[in-house]
Amino acid sequence: MNAITLILYELQESTLMAWRAFRSLFTRPRYFREIVNQMDLIGVGSLIIVLLTGFFTGAVLALQTGTTMASLGAKGYTGRLVATSLVRELGPVLTSLMVAGRVGSGIAAELGSMLVSDQIDAMRALGTDPIRKLVMPRMVALLVMVPALTVIAIIVGTGGGLVVAITLLGLPYAQYVSSAKEAFKLNDLIGSLTKALIFGFIIAVVGCRSGLKTTGGTVGVGRSTTQSVVVASILILVADFFITRALQIFLPPGQ
């Protein structure tokens, strides 16, 4: 199977898996407890790494841009620059990359281990649909929690910039906050959440598909885990470009 055929095949199988998972939301059983459990594992479990990523990203942005802005006599715009960068781009992208590394790999490893140990075959033998039981809860949880984590990262990142602006750049608190508020425009916020929603979908589909196609025992599980992180990260970065361009057309920034 050549590369193009393989890509088309994986696209087809991933699309069918996502459609079956989405369709299972409207029929019983729905496994609400499993959805809540996955939200806890994905959201709460990823909170620390998202907080650290957001805080230090905002801090570095303020540190780097504040010095440059000061040389141009525009240090007061540091808050707006930090917040705009986080809302439009760095918030959803960095959050999704962190979640892909932590959660996407975990999903692939978990489902891959279940597949090679015949647990999924046993599930089918007992009349349980693995897509409904395993894929759908993880997909719903990621679609909900990645946007939520993105909002947290943006807020904490703006706070990290505030700490640096006050302590190292000598900016007044009110000036930074007033400047940062100007970055929170409706279109930018909608665009940020749209990106996070799509990135969450990518992480779910890639992680579940990588796990459910695992072959080769424990070695195959490691291969699927690595593949999940690499493919999800690349797709997030590629999709980010096209989503950004589409948002510039349909949701002009700064409005």
Q: pLDDT by residue (tens digit) across 97-156?
A: 999 999 999 999 999 999 998 899 898 888 888 999 999 999 999 999 999 999 999 999
- What letter represents residue 29's amino acid? P
| Per-residue pLDDT tens over the stretch 158-216 | 999 999 999 988 889 999 999 898 888 889 999 999 999 999 999 999 999 999 998 88
pLDDT in tens, 40-96: 999 999 999 999 999 999 999 999 988 787 777 777 888 899 999 999 999 999 999
- Tell me the backbone φ, ψ of residue 117, rounded to 5 degrees: -95, 10
* pTM score: 0.94
- CB within 8 A of 9, min separation 6: which ones? 1
Q: Smallest Cα–Cα separation from 206: which of 237, 247, 243?
A: 237
pLDDT of residue 36: 94
Domain residue spans of the chain:
3-250
CB neighbour list of residue 166: distance below 8 Å, 6 or more residues apart: 172, 173, 176
The letter for the amino acid at 108 is A
Question: Taking every pair of C-alpha atoms in the chain, what is the biggest distance, in angstroms?
Answer: 70
Residues 247, 194: contact at Cβ < 8 Å? yes
